[in-house]
Amino acid sequence: MTWFIYASRSNIIERNMYAIVEIAGQQFKVEEGKKIFVHRLEVEDGKKIEFDQVLLLDDDGKITVGEPTVKDASVQAQVIEKVRGDKVIVFKKKRKKGYRVKNGHRQNFTQVEIISINGKISPKKQDVKKDTPAVKEEAVKETKAEKKPAVKKPAAEEKKAVKKPAEKKTAEKKPVAKKSGKGKA
């Protein structure tokens, strides 16, 4: 009896690895074998380039975020060709003034193919962060234990001031001067 193994999602081992890389001032999500267009790089066609500005690295769900970049991580790529992008038309107009300006622009790009993503995943770093608060708590407990407790004063010496309610004052009536309308000064 012969058994055939058919390709299905359960028996195909696929490595999902991607990185977010900063290239020429822009961030790109790259995977192995993927081709991307970046702003014009001053590199000849066919040359290999290495990008070390890796901001994030994901290896089968194990994510490493850089601070600001991931240490010892790099992305190797190969320049395929230099191309120009589609033409973008810039048209300016001010109505009722007869002002019309039409300009065109084509951006220069370099097509790059990602060859490999190299990086070290460090899950130990996350464990270290969890351990540091426990160490800090122990240090705080030790410093509190070293301090002498404050001596309280006896209750007999303490006197509390009792506030008395304010007395109501009655206003005295003042005599009102009468005005005379005859003799104005």
The three-class DSSP label of residue 139 is helix
Which residues, given as ranges, of the chain have pLDDT below 70? 1-15, 119-161, 180-185
Residues 106-118: tens digit of each pLDDT: 999 999 999 999 8
pLDDT score for 73:
92
pLDDT score for 122:
46
pTM over 0.75: no
The phi and psi torsions of 180 (rounded to 5 degrees) equal -110, 135
Residues 64-94: tens digit of each pLDDT: 998 999 998 999 999 999 999 999 999 999 9
Number of residues that make up the chain = 185
Alpha-carbon 119 to chain mean position: 22
